[in-house]
Each structure stands twice: as structure tokens, then as C-alpha cells.
Amino acid sequence: MNTALRLQPLNPEERDELANVESATIKKLIEKRTNQCCNCCGFTKKLGIRDNWFVQDPCGIVCVVITYLLMFYGEFAVMHVILLPIGFNIYSISQMIIFNFFTIMAFLSHLKAMMTDPGAVPLGNATREKLNDLGLKIGQVVYRCPKCICIKPDRAHHCSICRRCIRKMDHHCPWVNNCVGENNQKYFALFTLYIALMSLHAISLAVTHFVLCVRANWAVPTCSTISPASTTVFLIVLGFESLLFGIFTIIMFSTQLHAICTDETGIEQLKREKARWEKKTRCLGMKAVFGSPMSIHWFNPLATPRNHIGKEEIYMYNV
């Protein structure tokens, strides 16, 4: 089982095992393992998503649908059960703006994390021509992934679900139906942040609304436009959902910040891999993921990070 995934060294002096592989075979592999979105609606281009990346995993797609349904329920419960019955005043309008801001930002962050290429290594590039282009010196080797037939960069790992090698792969998240890697870690971190803020805000609104209505014995018209029993059920479900996903996303956001600040991905921490790269400082790590310099765009999922500070030479190992 491990033999199929074992990295195989390729030296320029060694015989190229892929020299006799027909170009049609490589082309077939690329067509089979390219996670492409049809972009039939054109919505991704309007959001600045140029990769057209979409992992066609049934389990991941189901998780994405569940995620959007949960977000829709939170929007329905907060708006139609809690805020709209109060009427349009300073309190309700301000709470509507805040909650809907978190919802929109969470949705955009999720969409960008799901449909951005996480850092997939080009398929079928482990050829003699590519090795010659690298200009390898004596004492340097590169590694080939037998699944992707590609030159495997340092700190890259093969994902069996995406069926690609991903640069700086942290983990594969079914809730965004994508790997979290070099190119989309910012969007995943923002998604967990805004979902956590949504959850905390929803819990505070639900608890406040329930306590005030119980004290008023549900006699105040602003408590609900439906029966007190139905309102109570909606509030309990909203509170349970918000508490569960609030705790989960706070933990995930914390682990992402820790991985960024320590310059170690989740897989590297799990496997306790020794650092073969020069680790970035906390400041450089944050800038490498969220962009440089530090600005309000760090919290904007539509803003693409301009650069990767301290990016390593990904195609070479020194041995």
C-alpha cells in the first residue's frame, strides 16, 4: 500500500522511466485529474476567481450543501424570528447590518476557499525535458509522485480526494470541498473567523431575545409573529447550532493561526516532520498568507494576497 505513494528520486544522470511514456497517456491523466469548474454561470469570474477549480467529490459536495443550509437557517432564524418582529429601530437595524455582514463575508470566504486552486502541482511534468530545465547540480535531486507523475515540491503532499499534489497542504476539509494549501489558506482562515463571529452574534441575540420574552410572559408583540412554542423551538435550534459550530470554528481558526505563525502545516505537525526549510517569523508568516503589507484587505476575502514572503525553492532537495 505504501509503495504506490512512496516518493521516487530522479537524478539527471539516471535513466528517465518516463521517457517512453506517450504524450497521449500524460494528456489522458491530466484530463482525468483536472478539477475544473464548468463556469457556465460566470459567477466565479465576477468574484475574481480565475482558477475555475472545483473538486468533484460527492461527499464534499454534500457537506457544502449542508453548510449553506445551516447558514440559511441561521439567517432565517435571526432575521424572521428575532429581529423583524422587533420592527425597524436603531437596535434591530444595527443588528441586521452586523449579522448580515458576517454572513456575506463567511459565504464569500467559503466560496473562495472552495473554488481557488490550493496550490496543485502541474500534472505529468516529471519528464526529461523538465529535469533539464531545472539545471540540477551534483548533489541535488528531485522527487516524483507516482500518482501525479509530477515533480514533487518540498512541503507538498498528495491528496487522495483532490487526486493532486498540493503545495504546503495543511489538510483536506470536506466542509469547503477542497484542500487547504498555499493559495487558499487565507480564505479558509477567514471562513472560520466569520462563521465564529456569526455564531457568537447569533447566540447573544437568541439568549437576549428569549430572556426578554420570558420576562414579559410573551405578551409583548415584538417577541414573535408566531406562537411562543414555535419561537422557542427556533431559538433552541439556533442556539445549539451556533454553539456547536462556534466552538468548532474557533478551534479551527486557532489552529490555522498557529500553523501560520509557526510556519508548519497541519500535516507537518502531525507527522512531526523536521524543518528542511528556513522558517519564517510570525510577521512574515502572516504576510505570506494574508498579503503584504498589513492592511484591512487581510479581512477581505475578495482581496487576493499580492505576494508570498520568503517563498522557498520548491523544486529542489539538497542531499
Cite the active site residues: 173
DSSP string spanning 182-208? Answer: TTTHHHHHHHHHHHHHHHHHHHHHHHH
Cell matching residue 113? 476557499
Cell matching residue 300? 477581505
Which of 94, 102, 93 minimizes the C-alpha distance to 74?
102
Encode 254-319 in three state secondary structure: HHHHHHHHHCCCHHHHHHCCCCCCCCCCHHHHHHHHHCCCCCHHHHCCCCCCCCCCCCCCCCCEEC
> 10 Å Cβ neighbour count for 7?
13
Q: CA-CA-CA-CA torsion for 202, 208, 210, 212, nearest 10 degrees?
A: -160
Q: Which residue, chain included where needed, has cell 476567481? A: 49
Beta strands 171-173; 150-152: pairing state: unpaired
What's the CA gap between 122 and 177, in Å, rounded? 20
